[in-house]
Amino acid sequence: MPEPIPFPDSPRPIHSRMSFLDLVYGTLFHPIKTFRQLSAPNAHSGVLVSAIICVVLTCVVDTVVEQILSQGPVTPLSYLIPLKIIVGLIKWLWMAGMLAAAAHVFSGKSHYETFLKLSGLALLPELFLSPVILIVQSLQFGSWATFSTIFLGLVAFMLWIWSSLLFVLALMETYSMSVGRAFLCLLIPVMLLISLFGGSLEAIADFIRLCVQAS
């Protein structure tokens, strides 16, 4: 009986069988292993689609909850949802670009597409904030209102920390960075915004001072 002819091993995409729910579960509960697989050179290209779905889903849930809790006139969701999705995608691309640029300065590597995938998944914790707000707001009565406000603040802070840690992990796995440099990359865009906002305040103050003097 002739022996089978051996074929050379061909590289196959890692996690090619991972579904969207597998990526969500892995990101939330096994982020180190999941991000390490997704940052591999032969990672499955469909991850970018999953990242886009995460961003779009977060925008849709936030919009629906805002409309449910709105006290004023209700704007049609057919108008609000596309607008929120466009704004959300632009914010995601801008934020990922800023962090990738900062990471490039420290590491000398350029892996924007890979980081873009991981950053979209890193936004997953924000998906839980709006449903929690909806549940807590529906239970507000009497003395519960003060407690619910404190509770929502703590939940928002915890989800922000969770998402920030996922961003740090995404930077570490994509650019092979240390924890300290990844945290620094995460702080650079925030510091830049604060400096720009502070400069704007100074300009407004100077303008008001000139107007007062002229009057």
Beta bridge partners of 14: 43
Separation of CA 200 from chain center? 26
Task: Grade residue 4 by pLDDT with cuts at 50, 70 and 90.
Answer: very low
- Whether 10 is covered by a domain: the verdict is no
pLDDT band at 90 (very low <50, low <70, confident <90, very high): very high
In a domain, 29, yes or no: yes
Q: Is residue 1 part of a domain?
A: no
Indicate if the pLDDT at residue 95 is higher than 60: yes
Which residues constitute the domain of residue 77? 20-214
Considering only 7-16, 27-36, 168-177, 187-196, which range has the smallest mean pLDDT?
7-16
Report d(CA 175, CA 107) in Å as an integer. Answer: 6
Q: Which two tokens stand for residue 113?
A: 């597409």
What mean pLDDT is predicted for residues 144-167? 86
* 169 touches 35 (CB < 8 A): yes
What's the structural domain count of the chain? Answer: 1
Q: What is the pTM of this model?
A: 0.79
* Start-end of H helices in the chain: 20-29, 31-38, 47-69, 77-107, 112-122, 129-138, 144-175, 179-214
Across the chain, mean pLDDT equals 79
Residue carrying structure tokens 């032969």: 42
